[in-house]
Structure 1
């Protein structure tokens, strides 16, 4: 029988497919390579995606040498409205866990299975028949060696240069290695009663489409860390003493750091002296090598002056129950996770406390539905080189989830965890379905309808009224549920690094006369136009957040999930508003989408690069794609 779930594969092959599927999703959706859809009449699959090389003619006949890869599909993907033979949006969840490539002309005999189930060859025969009927009678397929081979072939076709090719190959290898380790060492499956931090630490796969979604790439002077060598979930927070004049301090930093000072003074035989001219700064233990190398003025306290922390999904935001109750720390470390080295720029450290105290109180949104976790205080180095200064910084942020059970009878669950499918066995049942008992379509529809209703009511008002979009992707967003009834009550949003702010709209809609002194000049969160704000909002709310939730609830291909989205958008966006004109107008067949691979080619992170993505809001289901 054909394997429909990657969870049935061995961990190495499962990790290989997870990385390859995200890579292929990006190259097709970002229009780096064209993909043709060929329907197949089979109980096991609905068709195949034939991905073509970049130099393939748009109009001429397709030849065997034009084929880059072939993927069997569980259903009909989102096809281009003007060409129902070409795929416009390809998601990893569209794919069955097999990838084929053309067999080299000089290859003889059957390829080694490398641990794949024998069904892969039966499937190949079905696909081979389809490509013959498509006119590719000279195309012989073989199972793909994996994402590194696919990337090497792509980079060669695109002439990206050896340096970039090798650098990205190392990132893909690293991501695949850590993904395999995650599959081999599954964290405990949370229940509704599990504390919020356990939900943060239950993530198996994480980002749904980023090819480097599990990367943990250390950069010098931090030594390389192999899977199993470091406990990312329970790091130690070290203490560093820095001369006060060498730091920019925002907010009442000393007040929030006093509990640490009191604790460290009682450690060891001799009381630790911290002068009024000095500041205590918590630092992630992996960042100590960077501190020693880059900041000779900093005094690193011995390891005995450290605290056990519990890492949230981002790995560098941590709670420290022994010291902090209603707050937690966002730390900097020189490690590349997905697309960026996770340091804290001086501009971001400057922004958080000022935006929290001056802008957030003036924004229009329902405070019973959305809780904005304010950044209360920060420190950052005054080093003149921002690329160095970003390695010594720390932010104190509110932590609603630490106290919400006792104070509000709520459970806060990071939304990434809701869509995790690694615990569901061969049928890929997501945690949201397991934990909330969504065992039939009627329950799933009702649950999603409430989620979308409150989601838009929480996040749209500040966009519509103030021109401010919070980056509400699943890692930044926590869903709040009533402890007794399990009913969704609202959301928490955190992290201001991905905000989009249209300055003129904020000034016109609030008592603020200027954002000068709140946002550093040239900061990446400033949007030149309102359309720029709506673009960021579409990526985080629709393409990233709701798409995966709708897919795992099995409400994508039947179109029901997107009908719910359209219904609530039409209700909640005022008539005639530009957001509605952009998102809901029938002629808006595409919207700018964030391009992870194109950005990687350009070395971009803070500044986004966009390409036209098919507008999921208009999706009616695969039945309309025929």
Structure 2
């Protein structure tokens, strides 16, 4: 039998408190290694812990938590993970603690190592323990879940990409806090494989393509903004009035050739160097610092290709007048509005998403009235009063996608003045609550994933199943697993709930 085990620094916040009978004689205390760890081991654990979290929280495995009493190492206990068909019903409590069923864990509470323990019940001395990384863990899960070899190999490749790419982005090491592909840079054909260190993601070259204006959908002053960008190029390319030039990430050119035979790719002499933001596909030009350009890029990061769908190019400009009416403290929260966009008008959105561009205001140190702007993924800040993002959610039924990559912190010397929010492709809103609060609904394209069916106040809420979606090949079509609602969270020690603060 195979058992996966890892240590936990903090008590499990959400276990069923359901005592499990287990043959604890099979398990020995985990030795804690204090030896210096190299970067690859740390990177591997960062990815593997997220993968293990997905397997547990999505109900794909059977997990138990063994609490360690009087432990001076700082380790609270050990999590044991087995195939879901396994269960312990007729055992007893162990001498050092009890076995509890675990249904929800946080990867940030885990401590190295994650280990595989191979046990033969008839030969206890034959137990073999080895530390495993993300790919080894996924292969074990793949065997338990009976995954197709092609799907399993694809997932393992993306996990390896996540491990390898945890160095390139300077201070933003960890990436997505819970997704197992948190740092993946997996190029998808026809884009060739990109090995770490072989491409400069920080200063990519931006190429331009010429397309008929009849072949695109335009929102906002995109023509005027793109003209400013074209004027930077030397020599300046010619474009007739019925056509428009669109910036394209150079890595995306194979997808342009494949999907848009009627598009003309300009010579490389008509190109510009750019500076990428944390998302890879959003770039800045030093000669035009007031704008940020979000471009399609056929590389998988976390769940999906970093392309831009017509749903995303549509929603940003629709939100500009909505934000003006919502309950937002504009002294604290500044909004990097998406003011213009362009996208191919191909009826198949899976093709159209490969040629698109969103332009947003770039709030930075130069235009922020002396404030220092820092991405929150590099410097995690807490908004303890909740004044920034809770009022729009509670009063207007509007939730920003306020993860650390989308939020910038605004500092004046050492004082935190507030935040900047950007990127609105992943916002969620409840139309009826919005209408009642500001007298207006948001115009969305059919099939948009931004509308919420109801306000979430129940004890269990739908949590996105990253791993199940990955091996079932889904992105926009979500799979959910019930998870505890943090709004109703009650501290076991202090009896505090969020709604009482």
- For residues 365 and 373 of structure 2, the distance between their equivalents in structure 1, rounded to whole angstroms, comes to 9
* 1:95-106 equivalences in 2 (<5 Å): 95-103=110-118
Corresponding residue for residue 53 of structure 1 = 83
Which of 485, 492, 499 aligns to 2:420? It is: 492
Q: Using the TM superposition, give the Cα deviation of residue 60 of structure 1 relative to its aligned residue in structure 2, in angstroms.
A: 4.6
Q: Is the 8 A contact 1:471 1:496 kept in 2?
A: yes
Q: Deviations over 1:195-252 (max 9, x none)?
A: xxxxxxx211211221111111111111100011001111111111111111111111
- For residues 26 and 140 of structure 1, the distance between their equivalents in structure 2, rounded to whole angstroms, comes to 27
Pair 1:37 & 2:65 matched: yes
Q: Deviations over 1:465-510 (max 9, x none)?
A: 221111111111112112x2x1111111111111112122222222
* 1:387-466 equivalences in 2 (<5 Å): 387-404=350-367, 407-419=368-380, 448=382, 451-453=383-385, 456-466=386-396
Q: Is the 8 A contact 2:152 2:471 kept in 1?
A: no
Q: Whose helix proportion is higher, 1 or 2?
A: 1
Q: Using the TM superposition, give the Cα deviation of residue 94 of structure 1 relative to its aligned residue in structure 2, in angstroms.
A: 2.1
Q: Deviations over 1:29-67 (max 9, x none)?
A: 2222222222334322332111122111363559xxxxx
Q: 1:326 to 1:100 in 2, by over 3 A?
A: same
- For residues 601 and 318 of structure 1, the distance between their equivalents in structure 2, rounded to whole angstroms, comes to 31
- SS of the residue aligned with 2:231? helix
Corresponding residue for residue 296 of structure 2 = 332
Corresponding residue for residue 85 of structure 1 = 100
- SS of the residue aligned with 2:364? helix
Pair 1:345 & 2:309 matched: yes
Q: Which blocks of at least 5 consecutive residues in structure 2 are unaligned?
A: 1-30, 496-501
Q: Is the 8 A contact 1:524 1:606 kept in 2?
A: yes
Q: 1:25 to 1:374 in 2, by over 3 A?
A: same
Pair 1:274 & 2:204 matched: no
Corresponding residue for residue 21 of structure 2 = none
Q: Is the 8 A contact 2:365 2:371 kept in 1?
A: no
Which of 430, 451, 472 aligns to 1:602? It is: 472
Q: 1:621 to 1:530 in 2, by over 3 A?
A: closer
Q: 1:212 to 1:287 in 2, by over 3 A?
A: same
* 1:120-269 equivalences in 2 (<5 Å): 140-179=127-166, 182=167, 187=170, 202-264=171-233, 266-267=234-235
Q: Is the 8 A contact 1:148 1:173 kept in 2?
A: yes
- For residues 147 and 619 of structure 1, the distance between their equivalents in structure 2, rounded to whole angstroms, comes to 32
Q: 1:599 to 1:591 in 2, by over 3 A?
A: same
Q: Is the 8 A contact 2:67 2:99 kept in 1?
A: no
What count of residue pairs does the alignment treat as equivalent?
458
Which of 317, 320, 335 aligns to 2:285? It is: 320
Q: Which blocks of at least 5 consecutive residues in structure 1 are unaligned?
A: 63-75, 77-82, 106-131, 188-201, 420-431, 433-447, 532-578, 583-587
Q: Whose strand proportion is higher, 1 or 2?
A: 2
- SS of the residue aligned with 2:113? coil
TM-score by length of 1: 0.68
Which of 285, 291, 311 aligns to 2:250? It is: 285
